[in-house]
A and B are shown apart, each in its own frame.
Chain A
Amino acid sequence: MSRNPQKIVFDAVAKYGSGREAVVQILTEINRELGYIPEESIVAVADAVGVSNAEIYSVISFYSFFSTEPRGRNIIRLCTTISCEMKGSREILETIEAELGIKAGATTPDGRITLETTSCIGLCDQAPAILVNDTPHTRLTPDETRRIIAGLE
């Protein structure tokens, strides 16, 4: 059971303060706990920090790890930048899409997995790479990918 969004903001402000510099930390806390940042939390953060809702929304929109839409329990982020692309990220993408029956950007109907593509995640030397939640997986093959997916709750 996650805490209510207002409470998360309240606690995060107690921890990080209500200055503008605390915004990203507060948002990270919300995003981590709820998997996304709901509208009411944006309003609560804006009120706490004393800036407009639009400003917080603008910050959220800058970071691809933040979302304003609910997402799956697990998030797979597949790198599609050039090194991974050359090492077969396209095939990995097709594998995941086929396995989950969804396209990149979508969430499985049971809410288990969200699939996203991302720019370089700094693992070019071990391409192709994905991030599953906070865990990197590198030098992927389609088989290995299927195995990783199967292991997700």
Chain B
Amino acid sequence: MPNISVKINGTLTSVREGITILEACGTAGVEIPTLCYHPDLSLAGNCRMCLVEVEGWRTLAIACVTPVIPNMVVNTHSKKVRHARRTVLKLLLASHNVNCPECERNKNCELQELAEKHNITSNEYQTSPKPESIEEVSPGIMRDNSRCIMCTRCVRTCEELQSVAVIKPVGRSSSVTISTFMDRSLNDVPCTQCGQCVIRCPTGALFETSEVRPVWEAIENPDKFVVFQTAPAVRVGLAEALGLPIDRSTGQMVAAIRGMGVDRVLDTDFTADLTIIEEGHELISRLKSALVDGDESVALPMMTSCSPGWIKFIEHKYPELLSNVSTCKSPQQMFGALAKTYLAGKEGIDPAKIVSVSIMPCTAKKFEKERPEMRDSGYKDVDYVLTTRELARMIDEAGIDFEKITEEKFDRWMGDSTGAAVIFGATGGVMEAALRTAYEIVSGQEIPFDGLNIEPVRGMEGIKEAAITMPERMATGFEFLAGVTLKVAVAHGLANAKILMDKVRSGEADYHFIEIMACPGGCLGGGGQPIPTSPEIRQKRTESIYAEDAALHFRKSHANPEIQLLYAEFLKEPLGHKSHELLHTHYIKRD
């Protein structure tokens, strides 16, 4: 497209033809307020927050959907525009249940921020707030339609990014609400609890089902032994959730959690490494059954199982492919099962006293911990799940100065991690970690990628593919894989998962191993991560993740010393009896 010349607020600018006024203003460094616009989504143009004046036009233009034309003269802050924007805001607030101090999104709300920016201190419109309407039965997500501004960002997220489409506008005119099939609870429709709608909602209409209060109670209870695990992506999101620039903050995070009075600060990375060992062996054993024993009942491609939103998705949508999913529990649930067995033994603590809390970039993890299967320790394996945002709120509440705090290290037994575990937080990370380990198990040599960085599975492409050819000389027992080309695929975002699953179902795909993460970008873009999200934000978090990987001494899961100890002392061998009892699970078909 050729460039054209437009004048924005008196300054001539050259922009690409065909882009919107909003994008043109962006290139010119002029900020326009928006609400229904989101960089990850299709255009809706329904909120009218982005109105601008175009000289010669009778009405104001909707900047987010109107393309620029040659010699267009745009004024973004004229009297007419300011009046219109204030009116839009006042009308939104008039039908809004304004109660910022008691709102989950206080100080992190686009509506509040715009109201402040536009000096809305009084409202002449008669206010008729919708009654508070909280939907509280879903384990991961709550909705309060009285704070909804009908921007449909959630609706577009659920349909376009996740191909789930369980939330839609229901009703007409002033009685529209965002609702579900037959107005059911999110728990009673095929919602994956991924929380992608939550991190794209501009207001407090969608939020996580919070467990901050019971976690404080456990910490305050001297009879309880509170164990925290922190997921890989939390360390690259927490600083951001506390209002600081995006960066990894592992040491500060550990110190802050310890400062809150938690008994043991441990790492989900530890069980991410464990997942790699178990899942790697599972893959090799499936390949052996298929290639050597010619067992046709073995389901290939094998698919990863760490993302609970993905698991719920496949249970609803592709139940016939459930035998392809690795039986490995997610790192969170492996951790939970070991905390109340292995760790209890190491620490000499009665498992009944252990309260196991995980910090997750994820809302679906709240659902996962409630699954009835997740009680293999004899107790509820994970008692509470907090999102990155909830942890940030607790750190704030505890009065901890995160910026100044001195870095500390994780506690022992289940606190060691490797770079392979850290990259679980990014799309492609599980695949990369699994390949680093599996390749070495079967060939006895390191995977031949520069610096162990398996670039083909990295990056933001929706579906990534790679083919890795095994060497001719293999370790004893794995000769059947000599020269075999292993085909793998990685998808993130459930809409991409759907494309891949349709191919698998139709027999069109011939992969051996598939990694799926429910959330765009992987866990670092999870529904429990700081708000807002955008491609740039996810890119920065990704860079932090790979920087953390590169900085760690151990980069391969099987090199983790505590994992080696765990097998020597407790599990004995991968896929062994104890592993099956504690670390593996099964799935169910859901309607």
Q: Verify A58–B172 contact, CB threshold 8 A.
A: no
Q: Name which of B159-167, B296-304, B416-424 contacts chain A.
A: B159-167
Q: Verify A52–B171 contact, CB threshold 8 A.
A: no
Query: Are A57 and B181 CB-contacts (below 8 A) given A51-B165, A52-B164, A52-B166?
Result: yes
Q: Which chain B residue shows the least CB distance to A61? A: B170
- Interface positions of B from 166 to 213, Cβ below 8 Å from A: 166-172, 179-182, 189-190
CA distance A51 to B40 in the complex (A): 21
- Interface positions of A from 62 to 108, Cβ below 8 Å from B: 62, 64, 68
Across-interface contacts of B159 in A (CB, < 8 A): 52
Across-interface contacts of B182 in A (CB, < 8 A): 39, 42, 53, 57, 68
Q: Which chain B residue shows the least CB distance to A59? A: B168
Q: Does A55 contact B (CB under 8 A)?
A: yes
Q: Does A54 contact B (CB under 8 A)?
A: yes
Interface residues on A, range: 10 to 19
Q: Verify B172–A52 contact, CB threshold 8 A.
A: no
From B169, B171, B172, B181, contact of A53 by CB (8 A): B181
Min CB–CB distance A42 → chain B (angstroms)? 7
Across-interface contacts of B164 in A (CB, < 8 A): 52
Min CB–CB distance A46 → chain B (angstroms)? 8
How many of B's residues come within 8 Å of A, CB to CB? 16
CA distance A64 to B172 in the complex (A): 9
Q: Verify B165–A57 contact, CB threshold 8 A.
A: no
CA distance A54 to B188 in the complex (A): 12
Across-interface contacts of A61 in B (CB, < 8 A): 170-172
Q: Verify A57–B189 contact, CB threshold 8 A.
A: no
Q: Verify B168–A55 contact, CB threshold 8 A.
A: yes
CA distance A7 to B397 in the complex (A): 60
From A39, A52, A64, A68, contact of B165 by CB (8 A): A52
Across-interface contacts of A62 in B (CB, < 8 A): 171-172
Across-interface contacts of B170 in A (CB, < 8 A): 57-58, 61
CA distance A20 to B166 in the complex (A): 17
Q: Verify B172–A55 contact, CB threshold 8 A.
A: no
Question: Binary interface profile of B, 129-162, with partner A (CB < 8 Å = 1, else 0)?
Answer: 0000000000000000000000000000001000
Across-interface contacts of A52 in B (CB, < 8 A): 159, 164-166, 168, 181, 190
CA distance A42 to B189 in the complex (A): 14
Across-interface contacts of A64 in B (CB, < 8 A): 172
Across-interface contacts of A57 in B (CB, < 8 A): 168, 170, 180-182
Min CB–CB distance B171 → chain A (angstroms)? 5
Which of A57, A58, A64 has the most chain B CB within a 10 Å cutoff? A58
Q: Which chain A residue shows the least CB distance to B167? A: A54
Across-interface contacts of B189 in A (CB, < 8 A): 53-54
CA distance A64 to B189 in the complex (A): 24
Q: Verify A54–B171 contact, CB threshold 8 A.
A: no
Across-interface contacts of A55 in B (CB, < 8 A): 165, 168
Q: Verify A54–B165 contact, CB threshold 8 A.
A: yes
Min CB–CB distance A130 → chain B (angstroms)? 21
Q: Verify A54–B172 contact, CB threshold 8 A.
A: no
Q: Which chain B residue shows the least CB distance to A51? A: B165
CA distance A35 to B134 in the complex (A): 32
Across-interface contacts of B171 in A (CB, < 8 A): 61-62
Across-interface contacts of A51 in B (CB, < 8 A): 165
CA distance A52 to B165 in the complex (A): 6
Min CB–CB distance B178 → chain A (angstroms)? 10
Min CB–CB distance A27 → chain B (angstroms)? 15
Across-interface contacts of A58 in B (CB, < 8 A): 168-170
Q: Which chain B residue shows the least CB distance to A68? A: B182
CA distance A62 to B170 in the complex (A): 7
CA distance A51 to B169 in the complex (A): 15
CA distance A68 to B182 in the complex (A): 9
Across-interface contacts of A53 in B (CB, < 8 A): 181-182, 189
Min CB–CB distance A41 → chain B (angstroms)? 12
Q: Which chain B residue shows the least CB distance to A46? A: B181
Min CB–CB distance A81 → chain B (angstroms)? 13
Across-interface contacts of B169 in A (CB, < 8 A): 58
CA distance A91 to B165 in the complex (A): 44
- Interface positions of B from 267 to 286, Cβ below 8 Å from A: none
CA distance A9 to B167 in the complex (A): 23
CA distance A55 to B190 in the complex (A): 13
Min CB–CB distance A75 → chain B (angstroms)? 18
CA distance A52 to B179 in the complex (A): 13
Min CB–CB distance A121 → chain B (angstroms)? 15
Question: Binary interface profile of A, 26-65, with partner B (CB < 8 Å = 1, else 0)?
Answer: 0000000000000100100000000111110110011010
Q: Which chain A residue shows the least CB distance to B183? A: A57
CA distance A54 to B186 in the complex (A): 11
Min CB–CB distance B157 → chain A (angstroms)? 14
Q: Which chain A residue shows the least CB distance to B180? A: A54
CA distance A32 to B278 in the complex (A): 58
CA distance A58 to B179 in the complex (A): 8
Q: Which chain A residue shows the least CB distance to B191? A: A54
Q: A39-B182, A42-B182, A52-B168 are in contact. List 20 more A-B contacts (CB 8 A).
A: A42-B181, A52-B159, A52-B166, A52-B181, A52-B190, A53-B181, A53-B182, A53-B189, A54-B167, A54-B168, A54-B180, A54-B181, A55-B168, A57-B168, A57-B181, A58-B168, A58-B169, A61-B170, A61-B171, A64-B172
Q: What are 26 of the A-B contact pairs (CB < 8 Å)?
A: A39-B182, A42-B181, A42-B182, A51-B165, A52-B159, A52-B164, A52-B165, A52-B168, A52-B190, A53-B182, A53-B189, A54-B165, A54-B168, A54-B179, A54-B180, A54-B181, A54-B189, A55-B165, A55-B168, A57-B168, A57-B182, A58-B168, A58-B170, A61-B171, A62-B172, A68-B182
Interfacial residues, chain B to chain A (CB-CB below 8 A) = 159, 164-172, 179-182, 189-190
